[in-house]
Structure 1
Amino acid sequence: MMIDLSLVNEQVHLVRNFKELVSTPFHGEMNAICWERELKGDFAELVNKVSLDGSMATLELEDLLELQLTEEGNLARDILMHDLELLKLHGASPVLNVIEYYERDDAYPFFPTDVYSFHVDRSPIPADTFLCTYYGAPSEILPNAQAQQKVLVPEIREKLRELYNGADDGFETFLTEHFFDLHYQAKPYARPISLGTGHIWRLAIDHPEMQSLPCVHRAPLEATGQKRLLMIC
Protein backbone atom coordinates (compact mmCIF):
# COMPACT_ATOMS: atom_id res chain seq x y z
CA MET A 1 0.00 0.00 0.00
CA MET A 2 1.76 3.12 -1.26
CA ILE A 3 1.51 6.56 0.33
CA ASP A 4 -1.32 8.79 -0.90
CA LEU A 5 0.82 11.62 -2.26
CA SER A 6 -2.18 13.98 -2.28
CA LEU A 7 -2.01 13.96 1.53
CA VAL A 8 1.74 14.46 1.80
CA ASN A 9 2.59 18.01 2.84
CA GLU A 10 5.28 19.92 4.71
CA GLN A 11 4.87 17.47 7.59
CA VAL A 12 5.97 14.34 5.72
CA HIS A 13 9.35 13.76 4.12
CA LEU A 14 9.97 10.72 1.89
CA VAL A 15 13.40 9.04 1.75
CA ARG A 16 14.93 6.30 -0.39
CA ASN A 17 16.79 4.15 2.13
CA PHE A 18 17.42 3.42 5.79
CA LYS A 19 20.48 5.67 6.01
CA GLU A 20 18.41 8.68 4.92
CA LEU A 21 15.60 7.63 7.27
CA VAL A 22 17.76 7.81 10.38
CA SER A 23 20.03 10.72 9.38
CA THR A 24 17.54 13.28 8.03
CA PRO A 25 16.88 15.89 10.76
CA PHE A 26 13.41 17.00 11.74
CA HIS A 27 12.81 20.72 11.39
CA GLY A 28 9.93 23.19 11.29
CA GLU A 29 6.67 21.48 10.34
CA MET A 30 8.42 18.32 9.15
CA ASN A 31 8.04 15.71 11.91
CA ALA A 32 7.39 12.45 10.02
CA ILE A 33 9.91 10.72 7.74
CA CYS A 34 8.96 7.74 5.60
CA TRP A 35 11.11 5.15 3.89
CA GLU A 36 8.56 4.26 1.24
CA ARG A 37 8.77 0.63 0.12
CA GLU A 38 6.80 -2.00 -1.76
CA LEU A 39 7.53 -5.29 -0.04
CA LYS A 40 7.39 -8.82 -1.43
CA GLY A 41 6.41 -11.87 0.58
CA ASP A 42 3.34 -13.31 2.25
CA PHE A 43 2.99 -11.53 5.58
CA ALA A 44 -0.54 -12.88 5.99
CA GLU A 45 0.81 -16.44 6.07
CA LEU A 46 3.29 -15.49 8.75
CA VAL A 47 0.66 -13.75 10.87
CA ASN A 48 -1.74 -16.67 10.61
CA LYS A 49 0.94 -19.06 11.87
CA VAL A 50 1.22 -17.13 15.14
CA SER A 51 -0.97 -18.20 18.06
CA LEU A 52 -2.20 -15.44 20.33
CA ASP A 53 -2.46 -15.86 24.08
CA GLY A 54 -4.85 -12.98 24.58
CA SER A 55 -5.22 -9.95 22.33
CA MET A 56 -1.62 -9.76 21.05
CA ALA A 57 1.70 -11.58 20.91
CA THR A 58 5.30 -10.38 20.80
CA LEU A 59 7.47 -12.21 18.27
CA GLU A 60 11.07 -12.83 19.28
CA LEU A 61 13.74 -13.85 16.79
CA GLU A 62 13.48 -17.45 17.96
CA ASP A 63 9.71 -17.41 17.33
CA LEU A 64 10.24 -16.20 13.76
CA LEU A 65 12.84 -18.86 13.04
CA GLU A 66 10.58 -21.66 14.32
CA LEU A 67 7.73 -20.87 11.91
CA GLN A 68 7.28 -23.37 9.05
CA LEU A 69 6.63 -21.17 6.02
CA THR A 70 6.29 -21.36 2.24
CA GLU A 71 8.70 -19.59 -0.09
CA GLU A 72 6.57 -16.42 0.02
CA GLY A 73 6.34 -16.65 3.80
CA ASN A 74 10.11 -16.99 4.00
CA LEU A 75 10.50 -13.80 1.96
CA ALA A 76 8.34 -11.97 4.49
CA ARG A 77 10.33 -13.39 7.42
CA ASP A 78 13.64 -12.37 5.81
CA ILE A 79 12.38 -8.79 5.47
CA LEU A 80 11.30 -8.70 9.11
CA MET A 81 14.63 -10.03 10.32
CA HIS A 82 16.55 -7.56 8.16
CA ASP A 83 14.49 -4.61 9.41
CA LEU A 84 14.96 -5.64 13.02
CA GLU A 85 18.71 -5.96 12.50
CA LEU A 86 18.94 -2.51 10.87
CA LEU A 87 17.16 -0.89 13.79
CA LYS A 88 19.17 -2.74 16.40
CA LEU A 89 22.43 -1.67 14.73
CA HIS A 90 21.11 1.90 14.85
CA GLY A 91 20.73 1.52 18.62
CA ALA A 92 16.95 1.12 18.71
CA SER A 93 15.03 -1.64 20.48
CA PRO A 94 12.38 -2.79 17.99
CA VAL A 95 9.44 -4.92 19.08
CA LEU A 96 7.43 -7.03 16.65
CA ASN A 97 3.80 -7.58 17.60
CA VAL A 98 0.90 -9.52 16.15
CA ILE A 99 -2.18 -7.65 17.34
CA GLU A 100 -5.83 -8.64 17.36
CA TYR A 101 -6.71 -5.57 19.37
CA TYR A 102 -5.28 -3.28 22.06
CA GLU A 103 -6.86 -3.07 25.48
CA ARG A 104 -9.13 -0.04 25.74
CA ASP A 105 -8.77 2.56 28.47
CA ASP A 106 -12.05 3.15 30.31
CA ALA A 107 -10.70 4.65 33.54
CA TYR A 108 -11.92 8.10 32.44
CA PRO A 109 -14.80 7.64 29.96
CA PHE A 110 -14.64 11.28 28.85
CA PHE A 111 -10.88 11.03 28.20
CA PRO A 112 -9.51 7.71 26.91
CA THR A 113 -5.72 7.55 26.94
CA ASP A 114 -5.19 4.36 24.94
CA VAL A 115 -3.34 4.17 21.63
CA TYR A 116 -6.56 4.51 19.61
CA SER A 117 -6.60 8.16 20.72
CA PHE A 118 -4.52 10.65 18.73
CA HIS A 119 -1.42 11.22 20.85
CA VAL A 120 2.27 12.10 20.83
CA ASP A 121 5.12 10.13 22.37
CA ARG A 122 7.37 11.55 25.07
CA SER A 123 10.79 10.41 26.25
CA PRO A 124 13.17 11.62 28.98
CA ILE A 125 16.01 11.33 26.45
CA PRO A 126 16.26 12.50 22.82
CA ALA A 127 14.78 9.69 20.72
CA ASP A 128 12.46 8.91 17.83
CA THR A 129 9.51 6.60 17.33
CA PHE A 130 9.97 4.05 14.54
CA LEU A 131 7.07 1.97 13.29
CA CYS A 132 6.02 -0.17 10.35
CA THR A 133 2.76 -1.97 9.69
CA TYR A 134 3.53 -5.06 7.61
CA TYR A 135 0.01 -6.46 7.56
CA GLY A 136 -3.45 -5.26 8.55
CA ALA A 137 -4.83 -1.82 9.23
CA PRO A 138 -2.09 0.86 9.23
CA SER A 139 -1.54 3.59 11.79
CA GLU A 140 -2.43 7.24 11.07
CA ILE A 141 -0.79 10.59 11.68
CA LEU A 142 -2.38 14.02 11.83
CA PRO A 143 -0.88 17.38 10.83
CA ASN A 144 -0.35 19.43 13.99
CA ALA A 145 -2.38 22.30 12.58
CA GLN A 146 -5.35 19.92 12.26
CA ALA A 147 -5.12 18.73 15.89
CA GLN A 148 -6.06 20.33 19.20
CA GLN A 149 -4.59 19.31 22.52
CA LYS A 150 -7.48 17.87 24.50
CA VAL A 151 -6.47 19.52 27.76
CA LEU A 152 -7.09 22.90 26.08
CA VAL A 153 -10.67 22.09 25.06
CA PRO A 154 -12.74 24.07 27.63
CA GLU A 155 -15.34 21.41 28.44
CA ILE A 156 -12.69 18.67 28.72
CA ARG A 157 -10.43 20.90 30.82
CA GLU A 158 -13.29 21.60 33.22
CA LYS A 159 -13.92 17.88 33.70
CA LEU A 160 -10.22 17.33 34.32
CA ARG A 161 -10.23 20.07 36.97
CA GLU A 162 -13.16 18.32 38.69
CA LEU A 163 -11.25 15.04 38.53
CA TYR A 164 -8.11 16.69 39.94
CA ASN A 165 -9.89 18.56 42.77
CA GLY A 166 -6.70 20.11 44.10
CA ALA A 167 -4.74 23.36 44.31
CA ASP A 168 -4.42 25.32 41.07
CA ASP A 169 -0.62 25.30 41.10
CA GLY A 170 -0.56 21.49 40.86
CA PHE A 171 -3.03 21.09 38.00
CA GLU A 172 -0.53 21.15 35.14
CA THR A 173 1.64 18.60 36.95
CA PHE A 174 -1.43 16.39 37.36
CA LEU A 175 -2.11 16.56 33.61
CA THR A 176 1.47 15.55 32.81
CA GLU A 177 1.70 12.77 35.40
CA HIS A 178 -1.45 11.13 34.02
CA PHE A 179 -0.40 11.69 30.38
CA PHE A 180 -3.49 13.74 29.60
CA ASP A 181 -1.36 16.41 27.93
CA LEU A 182 -0.16 13.91 25.31
CA HIS A 183 -3.59 13.43 23.74
CA TYR A 184 -5.24 15.35 20.92
CA GLN A 185 -8.50 15.49 19.04
CA ALA A 186 -8.88 16.05 15.32
CA LYS A 187 -10.35 19.36 14.22
CA PRO A 188 -13.56 19.13 12.14
CA TYR A 189 -11.75 19.59 8.80
CA ALA A 190 -8.85 17.27 9.64
CA ARG A 191 -7.54 14.75 7.10
CA PRO A 192 -5.54 12.00 8.84
CA ILE A 193 -2.72 10.48 6.78
CA SER A 194 -2.58 6.70 6.58
CA LEU A 195 0.94 5.35 7.08
CA GLY A 196 0.25 2.49 4.70
CA THR A 197 1.80 -0.96 4.87
CA GLY A 198 5.42 -1.91 4.38
CA HIS A 199 6.92 1.54 4.93
CA ILE A 200 9.17 2.32 7.90
CA TRP A 201 8.30 5.63 9.54
CA ARG A 202 10.29 7.78 11.92
CA LEU A 203 8.16 10.13 14.02
CA ALA A 204 9.27 13.07 16.15
CA ILE A 205 8.56 12.84 19.88
CA ASP A 206 7.94 15.38 22.63
CA HIS A 207 11.34 16.40 24.01
CA PRO A 208 12.85 19.84 24.72
CA GLU A 209 15.73 19.25 22.31
CA MET A 210 13.51 18.45 19.32
CA GLN A 211 13.64 20.95 16.45
CA SER A 212 10.05 20.23 15.43
CA LEU A 213 6.67 19.62 17.00
CA PRO A 214 5.97 16.02 18.08
CA CYS A 215 4.08 13.92 15.55
CA VAL A 216 0.41 13.27 16.40
CA HIS A 217 -0.53 9.66 15.61
CA ARG A 218 -2.84 6.82 16.59
CA ALA A 219 -3.42 3.10 16.15
CA PRO A 220 -6.28 2.12 13.84
CA LEU A 221 -9.39 0.26 14.87
CA GLU A 222 -8.69 -3.25 13.67
CA ALA A 223 -11.04 -4.84 11.17
CA THR A 224 -13.05 -7.65 12.77
CA GLY A 225 -11.16 -10.89 12.50
CA GLN A 226 -8.06 -9.32 10.94
CA LYS A 227 -4.82 -9.16 12.87
CA ARG A 228 -2.04 -6.60 12.46
CA LEU A 229 1.69 -7.17 12.21
CA LEU A 230 3.47 -4.13 13.63
CA MET A 231 7.06 -3.24 14.35
CA ILE A 232 7.51 -0.37 16.81
CA CYS A 233 10.28 1.14 18.90
Structure 2
Amino acid sequence: MKGSDFEQQIPVVTNFEDLVSTPFYGEFNALCWKRELIGDFSEIANKIELSGNMKVIEPDELLALELSEEGELAREILINDLKLLEAHGASPILNVIRNYDADEDYPFFPTDVYSFHVDRSPIPVDTFLCTYCGDSSEILPNAQAEQKVLIPEIRNELRSLYSGPDEGFEDFLSDYFFDLHYQPKPNAQPIHLGLGHLWRLATDHPNNKSLPCVHRAPKENSGQLRLLLIC
Protein backbone atom coordinates (compact mmCIF):
# COMPACT_ATOMS: atom_id res chain seq x y z
CA MET A 1 0.00 0.00 0.00
CA LYS A 2 1.71 3.16 -1.21
CA GLY A 3 0.96 6.71 -0.19
CA SER A 4 0.38 9.61 -2.56
CA ASP A 5 0.64 13.38 -2.45
CA PHE A 6 -2.44 15.50 -1.94
CA GLU A 7 -2.06 18.16 -4.63
CA GLN A 8 -4.22 16.40 -7.23
CA GLN A 9 -6.82 15.07 -4.81
CA ILE A 10 -7.66 17.63 -2.10
CA PRO A 11 -9.07 21.17 -2.51
CA VAL A 12 -6.66 23.89 -1.43
CA VAL A 13 -7.11 27.48 -0.28
CA THR A 14 -4.67 30.36 -0.04
CA ASN A 15 -5.60 31.95 3.29
CA PHE A 16 -6.77 31.15 6.81
CA GLU A 17 -10.23 32.71 6.43
CA ASP A 18 -11.13 30.41 3.54
CA LEU A 19 -9.71 27.46 5.45
CA VAL A 20 -12.05 27.96 8.39
CA SER A 21 -15.16 29.18 6.54
CA THR A 22 -15.49 26.74 3.63
CA PRO A 23 -18.32 24.29 4.46
CA PHE A 24 -17.80 20.54 4.36
CA TYR A 25 -20.39 18.25 2.82
CA GLY A 26 -20.62 14.59 1.79
CA GLU A 27 -17.18 13.16 1.08
CA PHE A 28 -15.62 16.65 0.94
CA ASN A 29 -14.16 16.50 4.45
CA ALA A 30 -10.55 17.73 4.21
CA LEU A 31 -9.21 21.13 3.21
CA CYS A 32 -5.66 22.42 2.93
CA TRP A 33 -4.17 25.88 3.27
CA LYS A 34 -1.20 25.16 1.03
CA ARG A 35 1.92 27.02 2.12
CA GLU A 36 5.64 27.12 1.39
CA LEU A 37 7.12 28.06 4.75
CA ILE A 38 10.54 29.53 5.40
CA GLY A 39 12.70 28.93 8.44
CA ASP A 40 14.38 26.05 10.24
CA PHE A 41 11.70 24.15 12.15
CA SER A 42 14.03 21.23 12.83
CA GLU A 43 16.25 23.54 14.87
CA ILE A 44 13.32 24.24 17.20
CA ALA A 45 12.39 20.57 17.51
CA ASN A 46 15.98 19.59 18.27
CA LYS A 47 16.42 22.28 20.95
CA ILE A 48 13.46 21.06 23.01
CA GLU A 49 14.58 18.75 25.82
CA LEU A 50 12.62 15.51 25.74
CA SER A 51 12.43 13.35 28.85
CA GLY A 52 10.10 10.92 27.08
CA ASN A 53 8.87 10.37 23.56
CA MET A 54 6.67 13.44 23.33
CA LYS A 55 6.43 16.93 24.82
CA VAL A 56 4.09 19.90 24.59
CA ILE A 57 5.99 23.14 23.87
CA GLU A 58 4.58 25.90 26.03
CA PRO A 59 4.64 29.44 24.55
CA ASP A 60 7.14 30.67 27.16
CA GLU A 61 9.52 27.83 26.32
CA LEU A 62 9.22 28.56 22.61
CA LEU A 63 9.99 32.25 23.15
CA ALA A 64 12.99 31.48 25.39
CA LEU A 65 14.85 29.38 22.81
CA GLU A 66 18.16 30.74 21.51
CA LEU A 67 17.80 30.38 17.76
CA SER A 68 19.61 31.14 14.54
CA GLU A 69 18.10 33.57 12.05
CA GLU A 70 16.40 30.69 10.26
CA GLY A 71 15.11 29.35 13.57
CA GLU A 72 13.67 32.74 14.46
CA LEU A 73 11.78 32.84 11.16
CA ALA A 74 10.28 29.46 11.97
CA ARG A 75 9.35 30.58 15.49
CA GLU A 76 7.51 33.63 14.13
CA ILE A 77 5.42 31.35 11.91
CA LEU A 78 4.61 29.02 14.81
CA ILE A 79 3.52 31.90 17.02
CA ASN A 80 1.38 33.36 14.26
CA ASP A 81 -0.31 29.99 13.58
CA LEU A 82 -1.08 29.60 17.28
CA LYS A 83 -2.58 33.10 17.41
CA LEU A 84 -4.71 32.52 14.30
CA LEU A 85 -6.23 29.35 15.71
CA GLU A 86 -6.74 30.82 19.17
CA ALA A 87 -8.54 33.83 17.66
CA HIS A 88 -10.76 31.35 15.82
CA GLY A 89 -11.72 29.83 19.16
CA ALA A 90 -9.53 26.73 18.95
CA SER A 91 -7.04 25.48 21.54
CA PRO A 92 -3.93 24.57 19.54
CA ILE A 93 -1.12 22.51 21.03
CA LEU A 94 2.44 22.41 19.69
CA ASN A 95 4.16 19.04 20.18
CA VAL A 96 7.62 17.63 19.62
CA ILE A 97 7.26 13.91 19.00
CA ARG A 98 9.85 11.16 18.86
CA ASN A 99 7.11 8.56 18.62
CA TYR A 100 3.70 7.78 20.08
CA ASP A 101 3.00 4.91 22.44
CA ALA A 102 1.61 1.87 20.64
CA ASP A 103 -1.62 0.32 21.90
CA GLU A 104 -0.95 -3.16 23.28
CA ASP A 105 -4.28 -3.69 25.08
CA TYR A 106 -5.96 -5.29 22.06
CA PRO A 107 -3.34 -6.89 19.79
CA PHE A 108 -5.92 -7.70 17.11
CA PHE A 109 -7.39 -4.17 17.23
CA PRO A 110 -4.92 -1.35 18.03
CA THR A 111 -6.65 1.91 18.92
CA ASP A 112 -3.57 4.15 18.92
CA VAL A 113 -3.11 7.09 16.55
CA TYR A 114 -1.12 4.97 14.08
CA SER A 115 -4.40 3.27 13.21
CA PHE A 116 -6.62 4.97 10.64
CA HIS A 117 -9.38 6.63 12.63
CA VAL A 118 -11.80 9.55 12.79
CA ASP A 119 -12.09 12.14 15.55
CA ARG A 120 -15.36 12.54 17.47
CA SER A 121 -16.63 15.61 19.29
CA PRO A 122 -19.84 16.34 21.20
CA ILE A 123 -19.86 19.86 19.69
CA PRO A 124 -19.43 21.09 16.10
CA VAL A 125 -15.66 21.50 15.77
CA ASP A 126 -13.08 20.36 13.24
CA THR A 127 -9.54 19.07 13.66
CA PHE A 128 -6.69 21.37 12.59
CA LEU A 129 -3.15 20.13 12.16
CA CYS A 130 0.17 21.06 10.61
CA THR A 131 3.41 19.10 10.50
CA TYR A 132 6.39 21.47 10.30
CA CYS A 133 9.18 18.88 10.24
CA GLY A 134 9.49 15.12 10.43
CA ASP A 135 7.05 12.62 8.96
CA SER A 136 3.63 13.98 8.00
CA SER A 137 0.17 12.67 8.77
CA GLU A 138 -1.93 10.72 6.27
CA ILE A 139 -5.60 10.72 5.34
CA LEU A 140 -7.62 8.11 3.51
CA PRO A 141 -10.60 8.80 1.23
CA ASN A 142 -13.72 7.38 2.86
CA ALA A 143 -14.47 5.25 -0.19
CA GLN A 144 -11.12 3.50 0.38
CA ALA A 145 -11.77 2.71 4.06
CA GLU A 146 -13.99 0.25 5.90
CA GLN A 147 -15.13 0.67 9.49
CA LYS A 148 -13.42 -2.13 11.39
CA VAL A 149 -16.40 -2.95 13.62
CA LEU A 150 -18.38 -3.90 10.50
CA ILE A 151 -15.82 -6.48 9.33
CA PRO A 152 -17.31 -9.85 10.43
CA GLU A 153 -14.16 -11.50 11.77
CA ILE A 154 -13.17 -8.38 13.73
CA ARG A 155 -16.71 -7.93 15.03
CA ASN A 156 -16.68 -11.52 16.29
CA GLU A 157 -13.39 -10.90 18.11
CA LEU A 158 -14.88 -7.82 19.76
CA ARG A 159 -17.97 -9.77 20.82
CA SER A 160 -15.68 -12.18 22.63
CA LEU A 161 -14.45 -9.25 24.76
CA TYR A 162 -17.99 -8.18 25.65
CA SER A 163 -19.94 -9.87 28.41
CA GLY A 164 -23.02 -7.65 28.66
CA PRO A 165 -26.48 -7.85 27.08
CA ASP A 166 -26.79 -7.78 23.29
CA GLU A 167 -28.49 -4.40 23.31
CA GLY A 168 -25.44 -2.85 24.94
CA PHE A 169 -22.89 -4.05 22.39
CA GLU A 170 -22.98 -0.93 20.22
CA ASP A 171 -22.47 1.25 23.31
CA PHE A 172 -19.49 -0.93 24.22
CA LEU A 173 -17.95 -0.32 20.79
CA SER A 174 -18.42 3.43 21.20
CA ASP A 175 -17.29 3.62 24.84
CA TYR A 176 -13.97 1.97 24.00
CA PHE A 177 -13.57 3.92 20.71
CA PHE A 178 -13.55 0.78 18.54
CA ASP A 179 -16.11 2.34 16.21
CA LEU A 180 -13.73 5.19 15.33
CA HIS A 181 -11.19 2.97 13.59
CA TYR A 182 -10.98 2.00 9.93
CA GLN A 183 -9.16 -0.50 7.78
CA PRO A 184 -7.83 0.44 4.34
CA LYS A 185 -9.46 -1.46 1.50
CA PRO A 186 -7.22 -3.40 -0.92
CA ASN A 187 -5.17 -1.03 -3.11
CA ALA A 188 -6.08 1.98 -0.97
CA GLN A 189 -3.87 5.04 -1.49
CA PRO A 190 -3.30 7.06 1.70
CA ILE A 191 -2.61 10.73 1.04
CA HIS A 192 0.45 12.31 2.66
CA LEU A 193 -0.36 15.77 4.05
CA GLY A 194 3.12 17.17 3.53
CA LEU A 195 5.06 19.76 5.53
CA GLY A 196 4.04 23.31 6.38
CA HIS A 197 0.47 23.10 5.15
CA LEU A 198 -2.33 23.84 7.65
CA TRP A 199 -5.14 21.31 7.38
CA ARG A 200 -8.74 21.22 8.51
CA LEU A 201 -10.32 17.76 8.85
CA ALA A 202 -13.99 17.03 9.46
CA THR A 203 -14.86 15.26 12.71
CA ASP A 204 -17.79 13.08 13.75
CA HIS A 205 -20.00 15.61 15.53
CA PRO A 206 -23.72 16.45 15.81
CA ASN A 207 -25.29 17.96 12.68
CA ASN A 208 -22.22 17.26 10.56
CA LYS A 209 -23.11 17.42 6.87
CA SER A 210 -20.00 15.51 5.80
CA LEU A 211 -18.39 12.20 6.56
CA PRO A 212 -15.63 12.43 9.17
CA CYS A 213 -12.13 12.43 7.73
CA VAL A 214 -10.19 9.17 8.14
CA HIS A 215 -6.58 9.88 9.11
CA ARG A 216 -3.60 8.60 11.09
CA ALA A 217 -0.26 9.60 12.52
CA PRO A 218 2.73 8.44 10.49
CA LYS A 219 5.27 5.87 11.51
CA GLU A 220 8.42 7.85 12.27
CA ASN A 221 10.54 6.25 9.58
CA SER A 222 12.72 9.27 8.81
CA GLY A 223 14.36 9.29 12.24
CA GLN A 224 13.64 13.03 12.57
CA LEU A 225 11.76 14.56 15.47
CA ARG A 226 8.29 15.61 14.45
CA LEU A 227 7.03 19.14 15.13
CA LEU A 228 3.24 19.12 15.06
CA LEU A 229 0.51 21.66 15.74
CA ILE A 230 -2.89 20.12 16.44
CA CYS A 231 -6.25 21.06 17.88
Q: 1:124 to 1:228 in 2, by over 3 A?
A: same
Give me the identity figure in percent: 66
1:1-233 to 2 correspondence within 5 Å? 4-6=6-8, 8=9, 12-223=10-221, 225-233=223-231
How far is the alpha carbon of 1:103 from its aligned partner? 0.7
Opposite residue 113 of structure 2, the aligned amino acid is V
Deviations 1:177-202 (A, max 9, x none): 00000000100110000000000000
Specify the SS of the correspondent of 1:120.
Answer: coil
Deviations 1:103-142 (A, max 9, x none): 1111010000000000000001110000000000000000
Contact 2:135 2:222 in 1 (8 A): no
Opposite residue 78 of structure 2, the aligned amino acid is L
Relative to the length of structure 1, the TM-score reads 0.96
Structure 1 CA distance, aligned partners of 2:222 and 2:80? 30
Opposite residue 147 of structure 2, the aligned amino acid is Q
Relative to the length of structure 2, the TM-score reads 0.96
Opposite residue 119 of structure 2, the aligned amino acid is D
Specify the SS of the correspondent of 2:11.
Answer: strand
Deviations 1:130-186 (A, max 9, x none): 000000000000000000000001110000000012211010000000000000010
- What is the CA RMSD across the aligned residues, in angstroms? 1.2
Structure 1: runs of 5+ lacking an equivalent: none
Structure 1 CA distance, aligned partners of 2:202 and 2:6? 21
Number of residue pairs aligned between Structure 1 and Structure 2: 228
Contact 2:122 2:206 in 1 (8 A): no
